[in-house]
Amino acid sequence: LALETRLRRALEQDEFVLHYQPLVALTDGRIFGVEALVRWQIPGEGLLYPNHFIPLAEETGLIVPLGEWVLRTACARMKTWLDAGLPLEMLAVNLSPRQFRQGDLYERIRAVLAETRLPSRYLELEITETALMEDGPENETKLAALKALGVRIAIDDFGTGYSSLAYLKRFPIDKLKIDQSFVRDIPQDTSNMEIAAAIIAMARNLKLEVLAEGVEAEAQLAFLKRHGCDVAQGYLFGHPVAADAMQATLEAAM
């Protein structure tokens, strides 16, 4: 079967799963949040990672129902974790460019929050620079509406998109997520170190939170801390894992 047909059927047959990766505060090392990351559990086969199916889902529009499933599933899980008393402050969910373009995005997000009874302040939407830069003016209104709803906005893969930086002062953004390509070769790659340090400094001056992605080594962590990075994510702290495993980790840390 063509991948598109399989993808469509997978959605009907509930073959997607969410993994969760810890978001860690660098001040005290605490897991304060999680990012939901989708995987495709093909029956009888292994887990398929998003790089293998998100682009096609985006192209075919299947990302809209898939993204809605991700949002609903992640919000519902977050609600059970909060009800269980786990000390989480944030759930991050990725929005694809096509999802962000939906005219009724605000209504859809509000509906999922109402349905799952997750207070909006716990939800952070991750949007890439590229998505934000498409179509311009109405995006400002769209983000303002989402902010008024109480959700938070993060720029994912910051530094890799085509952007003018001017949007940082126009748009109501809460957080920059420094792309892992700038973190990967710290402390060998001095250009990456300059870029990471500059993004952290800029974010702090603009009163934005800043998260470093892809932190794998103690030397990277030390560098990020020294430069005043708030929060981080990466294999050093934890891989993305299934919901039950994430819950066990969170319970053990209580």
Question: Which one of the spans 109-117, 159-167, 193-201, 233-241 is the region binding ligand G (CB under 6 A)?
Answer: 233-241
Nearer Cβ to ligand G (128/148): 128
Q: Is 49 in the site for ligand G (CB under 6 A)?
A: yes
Nearer Cβ to ligand G (32/49): 49
Q: Is 214 in the site for ligand G (CB under 6 A)?
A: yes
Q: Is 230 in the site for Mn ion (CB under 5 A)?
A: no
Torsion (CA) 19, 25, 31, 34 in degrees, nearest 10: -30
**What's the angle, vertex CA 164, arms to CA 191 and CA 59, rounded to 5?**
95
Give Cβ neighbours of residue 138 (< 8 Å, ≥ 6 apart). Answer: none
Q: How far is the CB of 223 from Na ion (least distance, A)?
A: 19
The two beta strands, 241-242 and 16-25, are: antiparallel
Question: Which one of the spans 3-11, 62-70, 117-125, 151-159 is the region binding Na ion (CB under 5 A)?
Answer: 151-159
Question: Which of residues 10, 54, 109, 232 is near ligand G by CB under 6 A?
Answer: 54
Give Cβ neighbours of residue 58 (< 8 Å, ≥ 6 apart). Answer: 96, 97, 98
Question: Which of residues 41, 60, 130, 180 is near ligand G by CB under 6 A?
Answer: 180
Nearer Cβ to ligand G (156/247): 156
Q: Taking a C-beta distance cutoff of 8 angstroms, is the pair 154, 176 a contact?
A: yes
Question: Which of residues 7, 70, 75, 94 is near Mn ion by CB under 5 A?
Answer: 94
Question: Which of residues 98, 122, 126, 155 is near Mn ion by CB under 5 A?
Answer: 126
Nearer Cβ to ligand G (170/235): 235
Residue numbers 110-129 binding ligand G by CB under 6 A: none
Question: Which of residues 22, 33, 159, 240 is near ligand G by CB under 6 A?
Answer: 240
Q: Is 124 in the site for Mn ion (CB under 5 A)?
A: no
State which residue has the least CB distance to ligand G. 234
| 172 residue type, one letter | P
Contact positions vs Mn ion (CB under 5 A):
94, 126, 156
